[in-house]
Amino acid sequence: MERLLILAGILAVWWAAAFHYGPTVVPDPPATLAAGRRLAADGTLLAALGDSALVYLSGYLAAAAAAVPLGLAMGAAGRLGKAFEPYVYALAATPRVAFVPLVIVLLGLGVEAKVFIVFLGAIMPILVNTYAGVLAADDELVEMARSTGAGKLRIFLHIVLPGALPFVVAGLRLGATIGLINTVVAELYTAVQGLGGLLALYGNTFRMAEYFAIVITLAFAGVAVTEGLRLVEQRFARWRTR
């Protein structure tokens, strides 16, 4: 019920802004919906969504596959992980947009450059959160396990890893959001394709109804990704309980 009330409030504000600024700046919801239908009917929206999904999923999954093992290794390595810590935090604090010109020089304007830009955006939140999750392991449980003769591997698998899972999933959520943003950035800076390319096209030609339709599509994509990760988190929570 609360979500429906919030949605109604957003639509009311949107309609008021459209009335105040006019359709050339802020189109109203029916005009945006009609533009979205036209883009879906002629295949423009589906083709752009497919291009963006390929770039996004390739970069994000590569980031997750690299960041989770690295974060676990840093946390388990003790002093060696601490030695890498300032460099990881420095990279995490550096805006990934700063690397875009270098990526273009090295990889060109094709799909590889876009995927790598998404990878750069998604990897750091996942890595930092995974590392923090390992460091947050319950010291009392670890000491208790050691006193019963449990080895390092068993302690890691049965205490450290389950305790780190909420941090890992939080990092995956943050990485998913930043990866989606970087997908649009990559498509704007490199070969203009996908949803980011449509944003540039419609924004530059002041076709605001189509522009808002693409923005709404990106918002729905973000909700779908975060809700999917929430379901994954719930499954992991049941596994931790068992």
SS in 3 state form for the chain? CHHHHHHHHHHHHHHHHHHHHCCCCCCCHHHHHHHHHHHHHCCHHHHHHHHHHHHHHHHHHHHHHHHHHHHHHHHHCCHHHHHHHHHHHHHHHCCHHHHHHHHHHHHCCCHHHHHHHHHHHHHHHHHHHHHHHHHCCCHHHHHHHHHCCCCHHHHHHHHHHHHHHHHHHHHHHHHHHHHHHHHHHHHHHCCCCHHHHHHHHHHHCCCHHHHHHHHHHHHHHHHHHHHHHHHHHHHHHHHHHC
The pLDDT value given to residue 238: 61
pTM: 0.81
**pLDDT average, residue stretch 225-229:** 80
Structure tokens at 190: 């490199």
Alpha-carbon distance of 148 to 155, in angstroms, equals 11
Alpha-carbon distance of 241 to 225, in angstroms, equals 25
Greater pLDDT, 65 or 27: 65
What phi and psi, each to the nearest 5 degrees, are found at residue 118? -65, -40
The pLDDT value given to residue 62: 93
The pLDDT value given to residue 236: 64
The pLDDT value given to residue 119: 92
* Model pLDDT for residues 231-241, shown as the tens digit of each residue: 777 776 665 55
Architecture of domain 34-241: Orthogonal Bundle (1.10)
Q: Is the pLDDT of residue 191 over 80?
A: no
Is there a contact between 138 and 159 (Cβ–Cβ < 8 Å)?
yes
**pLDDT average, residue stretch 98-107:** 79
State what percent of residues in the chain have pLDDT above 90.
Answer: 5
Q: Is the pLDDT of residue 221 over 90?
A: no
Structure tokens at 20: 């105040």
The pLDDT value given to residue 138: 64
The pLDDT value given to residue 151: 64
The pLDDT value given to residue 142: 64
pLDDT, the chain, mean: 80
The pLDDT value given to residue 66: 92
End-to-end CA distance of the chain: 33
Half-sphere exposure of 85 (CA within 13 A, CB side): 14
Name the residue type at position 75.
Answer: G
The pLDDT value given to residue 65: 93
* Model pLDDT for residues 106-163, shown as the tens digit of each residue: 877 778 888 898 998 888 889 989 888 888 776 666 666 666 666 666 667 677 777 7
